[in-house]
Structure 1
Amino acid sequence: MSTHDRVINFGAGPSALPVSVLEETAKSLLNFSGTGIGIGEISHRSKEFTAVVNDLESLIRTQLDVPSTHTILFSQGGASAQFSAVVMNMLARYKLLHPEKTAEEVTMDYVVTGSWSKKAAEEARRLGGGQVNVAVDSRQFSKDGKSFDNIPSHESYKLSEDPALIYYCENETVDGVEFSHDLTASTSFPFHLLKQGSLVPLVADYSSSFMCRPIPRLADHAIIYAGAQKNIGPAGLTIIIVRQDCIVDVDAAAKLGTAPVPLMLSYKTLADAKSLYNTPSVISLYMTKLVLQRMKEKGGLPYFEEMNRKKAARIYGLLKEGGEKGVFERKVSDGSESWMNATFLVVGEGAEKRFLDGAEKQGMMALKGHRCACLMPLFSNYRIQ
C-alpha cells in the first residue's frame, strides 16, 4: 500500500487528517523548519516552536473572530480535564466575587443534552463546591423518555438566578444532536434567557464542532473549549478560549474557602506562561497549526461552513430516503440533527453487519458507532478536499 492508498476514515476522534498535513509533518519529524532537529525533539522554548504557538493562536483568533477580551490557551488532558478545570476556575471566580456565599448557596447550571454534558454534570457533582442545577434534560422530551435524541425548546429551560456557571455541549458526538445554527429556531441555544448587562458565566464544550463554522455570540461566552482530535488535529491538545475576567487568582480564592486548584488546571497558570508552563503537546500543536493554515488557504470558515451544510443536507436526505424505504432509522428528532455526526440504525436482522461489511469493501472504515448505531462523522478536514 502506497502513502496515498488510504481508506475513507470516518473515525469520530481521533479524526482523519489531510494528507498534505501528514506529509509535511513527516518531513518535520526529521528536520523542522531547517533546524536539523525533528518537531518531536525541538525545545518548546525555542524561537522556532514559539512561532508555531503564536501562529496557531493567530489563526484561531482571526478565523473565529475572537475578541481582545478573550485569551486563547493551549492545554493537555482533552475535554474531560476541562470538566474539572471549568468547575474549579469558575467556582474560584464566583468566590472572589461573592466571598460571603457558602457552597450550599452556590449553583452551577448544566444543560444536559447528551452523554458528554451528562458526564460534565456528574463531574461537577463529584467535585462539590456548589449545587448542580440541571437547567434542562433532553431525555424528558425524547420519544422513549430516556434517550438523548433532541434539543429541548427554549421554554423548557430553568436557569438559576445567579449561577457560578452555565454549561452546555454544542454538539454531542455519541448522540448526534446539535444546537441549531439558526438562532431563531427553538432548538438553538437560548441566549435570550441569559441575564443581560452582565458578564454571563456561559461555558461551552465545542470539541466535536470546533472550526466547522463561526461560533454564535462567541463574545458572550466566558469559556469555550475544544479537544483538537475531533476535527483539527491529533489527540493531546485542548484549545481554551477564556474571557479575561475568568482568569483568576485561584490561590486567593482558596484562602476564602474554595478547594485548591491543581496548578495545571488553573487558567491563570496557563495564561501567565503563555501556555508554555510545562512541555506542551508539541506535535499536536504543530499539526493543528498546519490544519488551520490549510483551512485559511481554502477560504476559512465561510468555505467550510458551506461545505458542511452541503454534506449534511446530502447525508440526511439519503437517510430520509432510506427511512421511507424501511432501510434506515434516524436516531434524532427533526431540527436537532448534528452537522458533525449523523447517527442512524440499519433496519433488519443482520442488516447492520451487512452494511458495515459492505462499507469496508468500499474503503469506508470506522462507521460503527455507539449502542448499536452507526455514526457518520461529516466534518473531518481529511474528508474536505
Structure 2
Amino acid sequence: MSNNHGRVINFGAGPSALPEPVLEEAAKGLFNFQNTGIGIAEISHRSKEFTSFIANLESLIRKQLDVPPTHEILFTQGGGSNQFSAVVLNMLARWRLLHPEAPAEEAVMDYVVTGSWSKKAMEEAKRLGGGRVNAVADSRQFSQTGKAFDNIPSHDAYKFSRDPALIYYCENETVDGVEFSHEESSPAAFPFQLLGQSTEKQLLPLVADYSSSFMCRPIPRLADHAIVYAGAQKNIGPAGLTVIIARKDCLVDVDAAARLGAAPVPIMLSWKTLSDSKSLYNTPSVLSIYMTGLVLERIDSLGGLKYFEDLNRRKASKVYAAVKEGQDRGVFQKKVKDGSESWMNVVFEVFGEGAEKRFLDGAEKKGMKGLKGHRSVGGIRVSLYNAITEEQVDTLVTYMNDFVAEETKPKAEQ
C-alpha cells in the first residue's frame, strides 16, 4: 500500500489511476490556478491563462504523437460513446458532400468488430441509419465458442467495402483485453495494406477509437487516419474530456450536407463547430483539461512516449509471465489468444471453487483494488495504464506468484 495519502494501488479500468505528483499539483490548482487567485474549477474558460493552457496541451499532444499539420486536435465532452454517434454523423455528412447525387443506401460504413466497444459503436451506426453497415471482420467467428472476443482476426478475414463513408476500429478493447499489435509483421496488426485496395479515395476515411491506449505508445500510421479519438480517463486524465485528432477534410459543413440530404448534426457533435471555436464553443471540461495538461507535461519531462512505450512493454510482459506461470500450474487461464493480448488490460480467469474471490480478497488485503473483470465477462482484469508504476506491477506479480503457490499446495499443507 502507498504511504502517501492512504492510497492503494488502483488497477481499475477507468476512471483509472493518475500519477500522484499530478494529483498533488492539481490540488494546488484547485485553490489557485497559475497565480490568478482563482481555482481552476472556477476560472473562466475564456481567460488568457486558460486559453494559453489549452493551447499548450494541444502542442504537447502534437509533439508527443508527431501529429502532422494535416490534422487538428480538438477537445470535447461526452466520452468515447458520444463519438460513436459523432463519427457516423460527421463522416456521413462528408460522404454526402463528396457524393451529392448518390442514393443514401450507397453509403457504406465499415466496422471491424473485435470486442465490446467496437460492437457498441457498430450498433450505434445501425441505430442512426443513413447508410449500410458492414462488419468487415468479427473476431467472435474465430473463437472456439463462436461468442468470445478473444483474438484479432488474421488479415485474410477482412472484407472492406469499396469507397466506404468510414472504416472503424477500436485499437484496444478494454473489456475483452484484445489489442491490435504494433508490429507491422504481426498477423494481429491492423491491415493497413488492404485499405488502398478497397477505396477509390486517396484520403482514407479511417477512424480509430484509442480511448484505452492513448499516449501509452506511438500510434502506427497516424497520418493515414481520418480520425483518432480517445476518452481521457484511462491514460491521461479524469473522466469528462475526449481528445479528437481530426484530418482537416473531415471538418465539414454539416449544414450544407444536410441541405443535400444528410442527417442534421447536433451542433455540439459537429467537429467543424469544435474546430471553428478552438474547442471553446461552450464551457469545456476545464478541470479535466487542466489535469490532462499536467499529465502531458509529466510525460514530456520523463522522456515522452518512448519512455512509456518501454515501461508499458515491461509491465505487460511481467504480468503475462505471471499469468503463464499460473496457467502452467492449473490456477490461471489467459482469456486472449497469443499475439492478440492487450498491453493495457490483462484478462484471465482463476480456477477452483471460490478461488476468484480468494484472489480478489487477498489482493485487497495487500492494498490492490480494481482487479475484478468487467461485469459482462467476469474473471480478473489488470489495467496497466501509464500511472501504474513498475514497482506496483512487481507487487502484483509477487502476489500472483504467491497465490499460485498457495493454491497448488497439497491440501495437508494448506
TM-score range, shorter chain: over 0.9
Structure 1 residue 2: Cα displacement: 7.3
1:314 is matched with 318
Aligned residue for 1:252, secondary structure, equals: helix
- Separation in 2 of the partners of 1:54 and 1:384? 32
Which amino acid is the alignment partner of residue 163 of structure 1?
P
Aligned residue for 2:233, secondary structure, equals: helix
Structure 1 residue 5: Cα displacement: 2.3
Larger Rg: 2
- Separation in 1 of the partners of 2:185 and 2:367? 40
Instruction: Tell me if 1:236 matches 2:240.
Output: yes
Instruction: Tell me if 1:188 matches 2:189.
Output: yes
- Separation in 2 of the partners of 1:321 and 1:384? 19
Mapping of residues 157-196 of structure 1, within 5 Å:
157-195=158-196
Which amino acid is the alignment partner of residue 178 of structure 1?
E
Aligned residue for 1:230, secondary structure, equals: coil
Which amino acid is the alignment partner of residue 209 of structure 1?
S
- Separation in 2 of the partners of 1:322 and 1:269? 52
2:395 is matched with none
1:378 is matched with 384
Query: Cα deviation per residue 1:322-358 (whole Å; 9 max; x = unaligned)?
Result: 1000010110000000000000001111000000000
- Separation in 2 of the partners of 1:2 and 1:189? 42
1:129 is matched with 130
Alignment counterpart, residue 274 of structure 2, candidates 266, 270, 291: 270
Query: Cα deviation per residue 1:298-331 (whole Å; 9 max; x = unaligned)?
Result: 1100000000111111111111111000010110
- Separation in 2 of the partners of 1:28 and 1:106? 48
Which amino acid is the alignment partner of residue 386 of structure 2?
S
1:96 is matched with 97
Structure 1 residue 195: Cα displacement: 1.7
Aligned residue for 1:155, secondary structure, equals: helix
Alignment counterpart, residue 294 of structure 2, candidates 273, 290, 294: 290
Instruction: Tell me if 1:299 matches 2:303.
Output: yes
Which aligned runs of 4 or more in structure 1 are off by greater than 4 angstroms?
none
- Separation in 2 of the partners of 1:287 and 1:293? 10
Q: 1:323 to 1:382 in 2, by over 3 A?
A: closer
Q: What value does the CA root-mean-square deviation take over the aligned residues?
A: 1.2
- Separation in 1 of the partners of 2:246 and 2:214? 15
Which amino acid is the alignment partner of residue 142 of structure 2?
F
Tell me if the contact between 1:19 and 1:382 (Cα under 8 Å) persists in the aligned partners: no
1:354 is matched with 358
Structure 1 residue 82: Cα displacement: 0.1
Which amino acid is the alignment partner of residue 319 of structure 1?
V
- Separation in 2 of the partners of 1:172 and 1:117? 8
Instruction: Structure 1 unaligned segments of length 5 or more: list them.
Output: none
Structure 1 residue 151: Cα displacement: 0.2
**After alignment, is 52-61 or 3-12 more displaced?**
3-12
Instruction: Tell me if 1:337 matches 2:338.
Output: no
Instruction: Structure 2 unaligned segments of length 5 or more: list them.
Output: 392-414
- Separation in 2 of the partners of 1:375 and 1:109? 29
- Separation in 2 of the partners of 1:59 and 1:384? 24
Alignment: residue pair count: 385
Tell me if the contact between 2:177 and 2:347 (Cα under 8 Å) persists in the aligned partners: yes
Taking structure 2 as the reference length, the TM-score comes to: 0.92
- Separation in 1 of the partners of 2:3 and 2:39? 23
Which amino acid is the alignment partner of residue 355 of structure 1?
F
Which amino acid is the alignment partner of residue 252 of structure 2?
V
1:119 is matched with 120
2:37 is matched with 36
Query: Cα deviation per residue 1:274-294 (whole Å; 9 max; x = unaligned)?
Result: 000000000000000000100
Which amino acid is the alignment partner of residue 240 of structure 2?
G
